[in-house]
C-alpha cells in the first residue's frame, strides 16, 4: 500500500528551529549540520540515515554568504585512525541528490514580538538505511564554505554476543518520579510507627538505577524524544519519533534510527507486544515503530504499525520495521474508525483483520480471545479510563460516548493495565513457543503523566499503583508459566513532573473557611502533616469493598477521600515573586512579615511569573527518574546513567548487536541462528 | 560539671501532642503508651530508655476514667515465646518511681480556633539505660485500666560480627533530593548533544539506594528526627534528638536511644569527627551526641559535646556519650562566646581548651593547626558563608559582624566544606594511628537545605556542588594517605524539598516586561527550555577565573547569571486553586481559556491555598532521597529501604552490634578487642 491520500494529513508547517528560547536548529549550532550529530553511540549493525545540511541565514545575527548555501559541500567517514573516505564510497551507495529548501525562525522573544523572523536557505543531502558494525570510533566530517568543517564523533559500542534474556518486558510509567512513588506508597501501604507493613513491588525489585532524561537540544524532554532515547539509544528533539529533527518541512524525511522493536523483529523475528493506557498512536507506544519529526501524525503512526516506514514513502529506503506487532492493546479508536483520524479515512479495524488480526473491543472479549493469533485490542476513543474511575467512581465512565466501535455508546467494559499486560504475555508466549524466539513487550502506564499534567494527583497515583500492581502480578504470572527466570523486567519512566507532597490538609477545616488566606491554615507541615488517612477506613464505608488490603497486594487506598489528605502540588511556597536570576546581594528572603502575616517581600526578585499564560497544564520537569529491574541482564541497570544507555542495556541482554543490515543478514552468526 | 544554671534555658512549654493536624501524642494512639513503641528494631547491645505513660483525658472526644489515670499499671517483657517477666526483674533494675503530670492539646483546628483545649492527666514510669543483646523478637506489654493492653513488638537484629570498614565517613546533604542533583549537574557539567562530558562524583559512586524519610508520627520530617533515624535506627518525632517524644514538660527526660557515634566511642574508643556548614548545635550535627525532645536547646547540645547527657542530669543514668569528639568544625559561635547562647553563660571556647582542644577561628588557622590534638573550629556566628558568596560574590561576606571571636568584625576567612572535611580526615587519621581503631566522621552540607527553604535555588545548588567536590576530593585524599580501601563512604540526605526544574527563563525578556502575566511568557518549556547557559562563558568575564572546568573536577558553573537561566521552583503550575480533595466527578481541569488566556478554572477545586500564611519559607517534602556509597560494606546500601536501616548498615560495617552495656563490657569479645 502506498502512502498517497494520507499526505493530506502531513503537517506542512513544522517549526524546526526553536530552542533556547528559539534555536536555528537545536542539534546544529554551526552552519553545517551532520545528523546523527557529534557524540552519537550506535549499536553494532543498527540501521540509521544520515542527513547533511548547509545553512545560509539571509538576515539576523548569523547572516552570512549572502543567503546562498554552499551546494558543493563534501562529506567523508574516517574509521579509527584511517583516512577519511567519501561517505557514498564508504557505505557503497550512490551519491544522494541535492535537496534545497528554506525555513524561518525567531532569534528570541523580542524578535517574535516584533515579528522579525530570520530566514535560512538550506542545501542538503541524505543517505538512507546505513549501518556500522565494527566496534570503535568513527569521525564524520562535513566540509563546506571552503575549509569550514563540522566534525561528528560516532562510537559503535562493543556488543554483547551472548544472549542473557529470552524475553524482555519494559514497563514505562509515563512521567513517573520517585516523589510520586513515595506518595503512592504513603496512600496505599499501611505504616505503624514509621515502618511500612508492606512495600511497593517497585521497592522490592533487585536492581535500582537512575537515568537522565534531558533532550538532545533542550533540558526538558517530551515523551516522544525520551521514548526515542530509551528505544534507540539516541537523544533527539521534542516531538520527534526515532528521527533526528532536520529543518525541512516534511515531517517524514528526517533521518531515521532503528528501534529496539525493529531490531528484535529483524534479527529474531520474535513476537512483539505494545500495550498502553493511552490512545495507541500516542508517543510512548508509537516510538517503538514510527519514524516522524511530528508525533502528532497519528494516522501515519497506525499505518506504520500495520505496514512500514518504507511503505509510507517508497522513495526512502528503510528495510526494517515492526512488521505487524503481535499484540497492540490500548485506546485511540479514532485512528481505527473510518474517518478523519484514520489512515486514508478507511476502516482500520478491517485493515488489521485483513492482515490476520483478532480485533477485540472490551475486557470481556479480551479475556475470551484466543492466544494464538495476532491481536488488536482497542478499548475506547482517546485515552482509556483511569483506575480511580473504573474502581471507585464508575459513574464517571457513563455519558462518555467513547465506545471503540464508534457507535456512540459508552466504553464501560475497559480492561486495566494489568488485564492487558497479562493477556499480552499469554499471546506472546503462545506465539513464540514454536520458534523459541522469546518475545519483547512494552507496557505503558500512560495516565500517570496525563493526570499529573492536569494536577489531578489522586488519579495519577491511582495509575501508578495500578502499574505497581501490574508488575507484581506479572512476576507471579511469569513464574506460573515458567518464564520468569528467562525474562528481563525493567520499569522506568521517560521524564518527570515537579510533583511532591509537602504536608497534610484538613479538608474539613479548609472547606469551612471563606477567606483565601485563612484556608491555608488548613495545611499541616512537618509534625502537623500527620499520618496517612488513606490506609484506614473512613467513618463511611470504604469506596470499594473489593480492594484487598494486605502485604501480598494489590495495595490501593482504602479511602480516597479522607478528612486528613496529603497536601501536594507542583509547588509549596509562601507568597513570593520569581525572577530566575541569582540574588547577587546575598541569600534570598522571599517573604517578610507584613501586618502579622508573611507576604511577598517587596524587595525580593523584581520580576514575577511562572509558566506562560497560554499553558493550561503543568509541564515536565528535569529530575532523573528511577529504573528498577529484575531478571537476566538486570544488574546492568544499577547506578546512574543516561537514558540512551537503557537501549544498549536492553540490546545487550538480547544480544541484538553485531548483526549486518538485512541485505547481508547471512552474516549474523552470533546468536544461534536467532533462537533462544 | 552539673547542669544547674543551664536549666534556665530549658523550655517549659513544649507542645508534646500535635500531629494530624493535632495528635494527643503521636506515637501513642491508645491511652497506654510504650516507648520504644511497637515495631522498634534494636542493634544488639544498643542502650535505650523505656518510658511508660497511662493517659486519662479529662475532656474532649477521648474523655475517660473521670480524668484519673491508672497508677497501678504493670509492664512486662516477653523474650520470644517465653513468659512475660516484670520489666524491672527482666532487666535486673529497681522499680522506677511513679511520675505524674498533665498536658493539654487541641483536637483539631476548629478546637484551636475556639480555644477549647483538651486536658490529659498522666501516670508514668521510666527505666534508664537498658539494652537487649540476644537477637530475636521481644514483646513488651503494658497493662492498665484493668485488662487493657498496649503491646509493642521489638526486634533485636542479628548483628554482623566481622568488621568490614575501618573508617566510616557519612556525608549528609541536608534536604538534598535527586531533582536537585539533576539541576546541579545541568549547571556545572558541559553537555554536547545530550551527552554529559563529565559527571558528578555522586553519579559515579559504586552503589545507589533510596531511603524513606518520614517521621514516626507524621509523614513530613524535620532534620532532627531524620538524623535520629540515620544515627540510631529509630524513627522519632519532629524536633526530637535521639529520644522518643513523651508528654512531659521537661525536654530532657524523654526516653533516650544510643547513637552510632556513642556506640563507636563506647566500643572502640576511636576518634570521632563532626563537620557542618551550619551552626554546630544545629540538628544534623547535634544528633550525633545530644538527647533532647527540643532541638532548640542549643547550649545543652554544646554542653553534651564536651560532657555527656548524664552530666546534664545526674539523676538519669546514661553511661555512654560522644566523649569529646576529636573534631568539631562548623559555625555557631553564639554557643561559645560567653553570653545568653552559651552553656551557663560561660566562655565555652575556654571550656574546650581546658579539656585539651586546639581552638581555631579561620581557614588559615585551620590549615596550619596540628593534626595531633582534639580540635574545635568555629568559623562564624550562625551558619557559615555559602559557596556562591565565598567564591562569586565575596563582597557579601562584609558587614556581617559575624566573626567567631565575637569581636564584631567580619568572618572573611571561612573554610568551605572541602577544607574542613580534608583537615578533619587528617586529624582523625593521625589520632587513630597508635590505637588502630579507625575513625567515624559525619560531614554535613547544611545549606542545601537552608537555601532551599528561602527558595534561593542558586545558592542551594552551589552548596550541593561543593558537597560533590568535597566527596571527589575526599576519595582522592583517602587514596593518597592509603585509607581509601578501608573507608566506607556514604552520601545521603535527611529529607527533601519539592524542588524541580521545569524550563528555561529568558531573564532579559522577563526583566523588560511590566505586566505580571506577560512576564510568564519569558519561561520556555519543553523544547523552549533550551540548553544550560551556565557552562559557557557569558559575554562578560566569568564570575570567577579560578574555577576550573573539566572532567576531573571541580565542576561549578562558569557563569551563574546567564541570560537563559533555568526556571525552577517549588512549583510549576498554571493559575489554579487547590483543595486537596479528590475530584469525584472525573479528571481535573485546573485552568480554562478566559479572554484568550488560561486562568483558574472557576469550577475547579472549590477551595484555595498552599501553606499557612504564618510560614515564611518553603517546607520539606516527602520524596525518598538517594543514597550513594563506596567502600567496604557499601553494597549493603543498594536498593530501597527505610531511613532507619542506614544505621544498621553502618553499624554492621563497623560490627558495632553484640556489645554488652558498658558495665559488662568485658563480654564484648567479637571485634578483636575493639581494634582494626
DSSP string computed for B212-244: E---SSSSS--HHHHHHHHHHS----TT-BSB-
Specify the pLDDT at position B534.
82
Q: Is residue A261 part of a domain?
A: yes
Does B533 have pLDDT greater than 70?
Answer: yes
Are A347 and A481 contained in the same domain? Answer: yes
| Among candidates B205, B389, B525 on the partner chain, residue whose Cβ is nearest the Cβ of A611 | B525
Dihedral, CA of residue B108, residue B112, residue B118 and residue B120, to nearest 10? 80
Contact call for A496 and B179, based on CB within 8 A? yes
Domain boundary among B110, B127, B157: B157
Q: Is residue A539 part of a domain?
A: no
Confidence label for B505 from pLDDT (cuts 50, 70 and 90): confident
Does B532 have pLDDT greater than 70?
Answer: yes
Q: Which of B526, B568, B576, B589 to mutate to test the interface with A (most CBs of A within 10 A)?
A: B526
Q: Is residue B590 part of a domain?
A: no
B371 torsion bin: left (phi>0), alpha (psi -120 to 50), beta (else): alpha
Are B201 and B303 contained in the same domain? Answer: yes
Stretch A332-356: mean pLDDT, rounded?
97
Does A519 have pLDDT greater than 90?
Answer: no
**pLDDT digits 0-9 by tens, B392-409:** 889 989 999 999 999 999
Are B303 and B392 contained in the same domain? Answer: yes
Our CA-based measurement puts residue B155 at a distance from the nearest CA of chain A, in whole angstroms, of 13
Domain boundary among B135, B157, B179: B157
Using CA atoms, how far residue B414 sits from B172, B231, B417, B418, in Å, is: 20, 28, 10, 11
Radius of gyration in angstroms for the set of CA atoms belonging to chain A, rounded to a whole number = 26
Q: How many beta carbons lie within 10 A of that of residue A145, not counting itself?
A: 16
Are A81 and A201 contained in the same domain? Answer: no
Q: Is residue B536 part of a domain?
A: no
Of A61 and B21, more confident: A61
Contact call for A611 and B585, based on CB within 8 A? no
Q: What number of C-beta contacts closer than 8 Å exist between A and B?
A: 544
Nearest to B242 by CA among B306, B177, B308, B299: B308
Which residue(s) pair with B279 in the sheet?
A: B331
Q: Is residue A417 part of a domain?
A: yes
Stretch B509-537: mean pLDDT, rounded?
77
Range scoring the smallest mean pLDDT among A491-500, B269-278, B328-337:
A491-500
**pLDDT digits 0-9 by tens, A625-659:** 677 889 999 999 887 777 678 788 889 999 999 87
Stretch B508-521: mean pLDDT, rounded?
75
- Please report, for the domain that includes residue A95, its CATH number: 2.60.40.1930
Contact call for B618 and A572, based on CB within 8 A? yes
Contact B524, B506 (CB under 8 A): yes
Are A377 and A442 contained in the same domain? Answer: yes
Specify the pLDDT at position B578.
53
Report the distance separating Cα A204 and Cα B210, nearest Å. 12
Of B336 and A530, more confident: B336
Does A580 have pLDDT greater than 90?
Answer: no
Q: Is residue B188 part of a domain?
A: yes
Confidence label for B510 from pLDDT (cuts 50, 70 and 90): confident
Encode burial over A605-625: b for 16+ CB neighbours within 10 A, e otherwise.
Answer: bebbbbbbbebbbbbbbbbbb
Of B517 and B389, more confident: B389
Are A410 and A378 contained in the same domain? Answer: yes
Are A309 and A188 contained in the same domain? Answer: yes
**pLDDT digits 0-9 by tens, A279-304:** 999 999 999 999 999 999 999 999 99
**pLDDT digits 0-9 by tens, A71-81:** 999 999 999 99
Residues of B in contact with A586 (CB under 8 A): 389, 393, 396
C-alpha cell at A160: 554483547
| Among candidates A22, A37, A178 on the partner chain, residue whose Cβ is nearest the Cβ of B178 | A178
Does A194 have pLDDT greater than 70?
Answer: yes
Are B222 and B314 contained in the same domain? Answer: yes
Q: Is residue B393 part of a domain?
A: yes
Segments forming the whole domain that contains residue B79: 19-157
Does B12 have pLDDT greater than 80?
Answer: no
Confidence label for B306 from pLDDT (cuts 50, 70 and 90): very high
**pLDDT digits 0-9 by tens, B402-430:** 999 999 999 999 999 999 999 999 999 99
Residues of A in contact with B465 (CB under 8 A): none
Contact A536, B534 (CB under 8 A): no
Report the distance separating Cα A357 and Cα B72, nearest Å. 76
Query: What's the per-residue H, E or C state across B592-611?
Result: EEECCEEEECCCCCCCCCCC
Q: E strands, B45-94, where?
A: 48-57, 74-79, 84-86
Confidence label for A407 from pLDDT (cuts 50, 70 and 90): very high
Specify the pLDDT at position B49.
97
Report the distance separating Cα B475 and Cα B642, nearest Å. 27
- Please report, for the domain that includes residue B187, its CATH number: 3.40.720.10
Specify the pLDDT at position A137.
97
Contact call for A455 and B588, based on CB within 8 A? yes
Q: Is residue A542 part of a domain?
A: no
Contact B277, B463 (CB under 8 A): yes
Which chain B residue's Cα is nearest to A212? B182
Residues of B in contact with A507 (CB under 8 A): 579-581, 607
Contact call for A592 and B616, based on CB within 8 A? yes
Contact call for A531 and B217, based on CB within 8 A? yes
C-alpha cell at A349: 479495524
Our CA-based measurement puts residue A205 at a distance from the nearest CA of chain B, in whole angstroms, of 8
Are B147 and B172 contained in the same domain? Answer: no
Report the distance separating Cα A192 and Cα A189, nearest Å. 10
**pLDDT digits 0-9 by tens, B548-583:** 445 566 788 888 888 888 887 665 355 555 555 556
| Percent above pLDDT 70 for chain B | 84
Does A202 have pLDDT greater than 90?
Answer: yes
Specify the pLDDT at position A4.
39
Specify the pLDDT at position A554.
72
**pLDDT digits 0-9 by tens, B368-383:** 999 999 999 999 999 9
Specify the pLDDT at position B482.
97
Specify the pLDDT at position B670.
42
Nearest to A304 by CA among A272, A340, A278, A277: A272
| Among candidates A193, A510, A573 on the partner chain, residue whose Cβ is nearest the Cβ of B618 | A573
Stretch B455-471: mean pLDDT, rounded?
92
Are A153 and A295 contained in the same domain? Answer: no
Specify the pLDDT at position A553.
61
* β B496-497/B620-621 pair status: antiparallel
Which residue(s) pair with B488 in the sheet?
A: B168
**pLDDT digits 0-9 by tens, A121-180:** 999 999 999 999 999 999 999 999 999 999 999 999 999 999 999 999 999 999 999 999
Of B21 and B65, more confident: B65
Does B212 have pLDDT greater than 80?
Answer: yes
Specify the pLDDT at position B544.
40
Report the distance separating Cα B232 and Cα B41, nearest Å. 10
Are A95 and A193 contained in the same domain? Answer: no
- Please report, for the domain that includes residue B129, its CATH number: 2.60.40
Specify the pLDDT at position A671.
43
Confidence label for B604 from pLDDT (cuts 50, 70 and 90): low
Are A108 and A225 contained in the same domain? Answer: no
Stretch B118-142: mean pLDDT, rounded?
97
Does B132 have pLDDT greater than 90?
Answer: yes
Q: How many beta carbons lie within 10 A of that of residue A57, not counting itself?
A: 21
Q: E strands, B493-542, where?
A: 496-497, 500-506, 523-524
Specify the pLDDT at position B140.
97
Specify the pLDDT at position B563.
84
Our CA-based measurement puts residue B233 at a distance from the nearest CA of chain A, in whole angstroms, of 11
Specify the pLDDT at position B331.
98
Residues of A in contact with B192 (CB under 8 A): 38-39
Which ipTM value was assigned to this complex?
0.89
Specify the pLDDT at position A331.
98
Domain boundary among A157, A175, A208: A157
User: Number of folded domains in chain B?
Assistant: 2
Amino acid at each position: 500500500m502506498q502512502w498517497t491520500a494520507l499526505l493530506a494529513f502531513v503537517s506542512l508547517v513544522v517549526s524546526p528551529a526553536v530552542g533556547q528560547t528559539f534555536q536555528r536548529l537545536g542539534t546544529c549550532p554551526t552552519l553545517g549540520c551532520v545528523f546523527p550529530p557529534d557524540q552519537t553511540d550506535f549499536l553494532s549493525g543498527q540501521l540509521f540515515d544520515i542527513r547533511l545540511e548547509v545553512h545560509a541565514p539571509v538576515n539576523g545575527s548569523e547572516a552570512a554568504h549572502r543567503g546562498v548555501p554552499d551546494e558543493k559541500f563534501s562529506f567523508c567517514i574516517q574509521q579509527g585512525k584511517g583516512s577519511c573516505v567519501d561517505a557514498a564510497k564508504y557505505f557503497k551507495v550512490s551519491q544522494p541528490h541535492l535537496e534545497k529548501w528554506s525555513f524561518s525562525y525567531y532569534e528570541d522573544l523580542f524578535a517574535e514580538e516584533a515579528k522579525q523572523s530570520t530566514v535560512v536557505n538550506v542545501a542538503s543531502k541524505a543517505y538512507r538505511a546505513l549501518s556500522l558494525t565494527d566496534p570503535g570510533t568513527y569521525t564524520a566530517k562535513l566540509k563546506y564554505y571552503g575549509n569550514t568543517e563540522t566534525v561528528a564523533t560516532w562510537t559503535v559500542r562493543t556488543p554483547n554476543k551472548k544472549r542473557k534474556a529470552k524475553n524482555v518486558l519494559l514497563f514505562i510509567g509515563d512521567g513517573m518520579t520517585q516523589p510520586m512513588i513515595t506518595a503512592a506508597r504513603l496512600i496505599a501501604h499501611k505504616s505503624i510507627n514509621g515502618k511500612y507493613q508492606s512495600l511497593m513491588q517497585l521497592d522490592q525489585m533487585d536492581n535500582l538505577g537512575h537515568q537522565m532524561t534531558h533532550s538532545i537540544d533542550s533540558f526538558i524532554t517530551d515523551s516522544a524524544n525520551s521514548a526515542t532515547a530509551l528505544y534507540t539509544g539516541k537523544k533527539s528533539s521534542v516531538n520527534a519519533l526515532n528521527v533526528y529533527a532536520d529543518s525541512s518541512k516534511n515531517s517524514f524525511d528526517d533521518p531515521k534510527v532503528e528501534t529496539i522493536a525493529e531490531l528484535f523483529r529483524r534479527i529474531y523475528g520474535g513476537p512483539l507486544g505494545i500495550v498502553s493506557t493511552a490512545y495507541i498512536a500516542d508517543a510512548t507506544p508509537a516510538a517503538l515503530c514510527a519514524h516522524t519529526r511530528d508525533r502528532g501524525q497519528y494516522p501515519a503512526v497506525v499505518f506504520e504499525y500495520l505496514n512500514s516506514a518504507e511503505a509510507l514513502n517508497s522513495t526512502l529506503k528503510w528495510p526494517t520495521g515492526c512488521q505487524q506487532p503481535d499484540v497492540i492493546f490500548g485506546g485511540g479508536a479514532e485512528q481505527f474508525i473510518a474517518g478523519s483520524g484514520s489512515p486514508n479515512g478507511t476502516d482500520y479495524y478491517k485493515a488489521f483483520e485483513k492482515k490476520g488480526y483478532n480485533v477485540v473491543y472490551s475486557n470481556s472479549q479480551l479475556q475470551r480471545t484466543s492466544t494464538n493469533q495476532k491481536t488488536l485490542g482497542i478499548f475506547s476513543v482517546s485515552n482509556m479510563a483511569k483506575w480511580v474511575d473504573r474502581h471507585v467512581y464508575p459513574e464517571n465512565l457513563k455519558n462518555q460516548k467513547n465506545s471503540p466501535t464508534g457507535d456512540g455508546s459508552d466504553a464501560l467494559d475497559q480492561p486495566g493495565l494489568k488485564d492487558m499486560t497479562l493477556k499480552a504475555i499469554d499471546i506472546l508466549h503462545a506465539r513464540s513457543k514454536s520458534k523459541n524466539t522469546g518475545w519483547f513487550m512494552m507496557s505503558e502506564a500512560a495516565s500517570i503523566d496525563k493526570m499529573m499534567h492536569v494536577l489531578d494527583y489522586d488519579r495519577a497515583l491511582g495509575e501508578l499503583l495500578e502499574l505497581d500492581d501490574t508488575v507484581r502480578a506479572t512476576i507471579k504470572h511469569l513464574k506460573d508459566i515458567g518464564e520468569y527466570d528467562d525474562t528481563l523486567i525493567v520499569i522506568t519512566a521517560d521524564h518527570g513532573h515537579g510533583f511532591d507532597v509537602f504536608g497534610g490538609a484538613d479538608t474539613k477545616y479548609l472547606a469551612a473557611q471563606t477567606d483565601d488566606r485563612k484556608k491555608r491554615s488548613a495545611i499541616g507541615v512537618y509534625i502537623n502533616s500527620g499520618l496517612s488517612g488513606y490506609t484506614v477506613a473512613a467513618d463511611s464505608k470504604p469506596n470499594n469493598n473489593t480492594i484487598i488490603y494486605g502485604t501480598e497486594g494489590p495495595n490501593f487506598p482504602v479511602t480516597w477521600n479522607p478528612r486528613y489528605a496529603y497536601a501536594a502540588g507542583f509547588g509549596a511556597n509562601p507568597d513570593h515573586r520569581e525572577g530566575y536570576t541569582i540574588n547577587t546581594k546575598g541569600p534570598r528572603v522571599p517573604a517578610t512579615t507584613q501586618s502579622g502575616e508573611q507576604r511577598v517581600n517587596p524587595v525580593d526578585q523584581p520580576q514575577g511569573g511562572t509558566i506562560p499564560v497560554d499553558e493550561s497544564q503543568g509541564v515536565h520537569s528535569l529530575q532523573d527518574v528511577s529504573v528498577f529491574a529484575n531478571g537476566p541482564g538486570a544488574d546492568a541497570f544499577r547506578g546512574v546513567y543516561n537514558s540512551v544507555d537503557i537501549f544498549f542495556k536492553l540490546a545487550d541482554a538480547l544480544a541484538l548487536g553485531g548483526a549486518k543490515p538485512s541485505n547481508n543478514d547471512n552474516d549474523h552468526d552470533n546468536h544461534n541462528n536467532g533462537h533462544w
